[in-house]
Structure 1
Amino acid sequence: MEHNNHYKKEYKPLARSLRTNSTKAEVRLWCELLSKGKTGYSFLRQRSIGNYIADFMCKELKLVIEVDGYSHNFKTAEDQQRDKDLSDLGFTTIRFSDEEVMKDLPNMERVIQAYIDRFLENHCAR
């Protein structure tokens, strides 16, 4: 098993609890777009990275996807710091609102696929 310096074992119980208590939008995004390699890549739910637990994370793509509920309307500075910290660890964060996921899933799919296409262009080009 690959050693991951960004994974914190002590966050495992909290991550398990967050998976159990996922929002409707998180469940929908997982079931319809991210589970079972539907993107061609393996995503994990509620995975610890550094000092955070990401809603969804793909190690291969260095991608974190966050589904922000109403409470995030008041956390912009915290979210910006979190995104910066994750970027310092090599991850890109894409944020969707609960409302976007529930009302416009095809657009979420387009955004994720566009990221994958850019990632592959940048990492497979010589």
Structure 2
Amino acid sequence: MLTPTQITARARDLRRGHTTAEARLWNALRAGRLGGWKWKRQVPLGPYFLDFLCREARLVVELDGGQHSETVDYDARRTAFLERRGLRVIRFWNFEVLESRDDVCRTILDACGGERPSALSLPSPSPLRVGRGVHAAPRLLSPERSEERERVGRGPTPGRRGGSCRRSSSRRR
């Protein structure tokens, strides 16, 4: 039995030593790139490490290389273990990801239920706002003012009085 520290170290090693197929699929899944779903890779669960897991969709994606054709019983036990925990498992061969990643991604997105419904319908971001300090009332910055501000600079530094930066003449050197 592995300790929590050993499990974390093993997961890190698996992430660093990924196959080319895992790297290509991770590039498509990471950072919500596939339908807005959040994915993790090489996630420890019981005695297993899951290639890819989307907790919200309760979906596990496993990539199998040539060695997996020899471990059909092991894969069946693993899939049964995961299904008892309410997870769905889909498997792809490495060559499928390498030859037709887009088809694999479409299949995964369909298994997730399509595009992820956003938790909140937020309006698109507001235009740039300007103001001084955190408590200042925000003012919208029109495109013309934005260009003018870029040309002129930011103006005086807050908390400083205007005037020359030179030393006063009454001070001796």
TM-score in terms of structure 2 length: 0.61
d(CA) in 2 for partners of 1:12, 1:89: 21
Which of 77, 93, 98 does residue 97 from structure 1 map onto?
Answer: 93
Distance 1:62 1:49 in 2: 13
1:56 equivalenced with 2:49 (yes/no): no
**Deviation sequence 1:48-81 (CA, Å, 0-9, x none):** 1122100111111111111111110101111011
| C-alpha contact 2:39 2:54 (8 A) present in aligned 1 | yes
Shift of 1:116: 1.5
C-alpha separation in 1, matches of 2:89 and 2:63: 11
- Separation in structure 1 between the aligned mates of residue 54 and residue 108 of structure 2, nearest angstrom: 11
- Runs of 4+ in structure 1 off by over 6 angstroms are none
1:70 aligns with 2:66: yes
The runs of 5 or more residues in structure 1 that have no matched partner are 1-7, 121-126
Structure 2 counterpart of 1:87, from 77, 83, 87: 83
- Cα RMSD for the two superposed structures: 1.5
Whether the 8 Å contact between 2:59 and 2:112 is mirrored in structure 1 is: no
Tell me which residue corresponds to 2:30: 35
The alignment status of 1:14 with 2:13, answered yes or no, reads: no
Contact 1:50 1:86 in 2 (8 A): no
Report if aligned partners of 1:45, 1:54 keep a CA contact under 8 Å in 2. Answer: yes
Measured in 2, the distance between the counterparts of 1:11 and 1:83 equals 20
Q: CA separation in 1, counterparts of 2:98 and 2:105?
A: 12
Residue ranges of structure 2 left out of the alignment (5+ in a row): 117-173
- Report the structure number with the largest CA radius of gyration: 2
One-letter amino acid matched to 1:11: I
Of structures 1 and 2, the one scoring higher in RCO (CA 8 A, sep 6+) is: 1
Q: Percent identity?
A: 34
Larger % of helix: which? Answer: 1
**Are 1:47 and 1:53, in contact at CA under 8 Å, matched by a contact in 2?**
yes
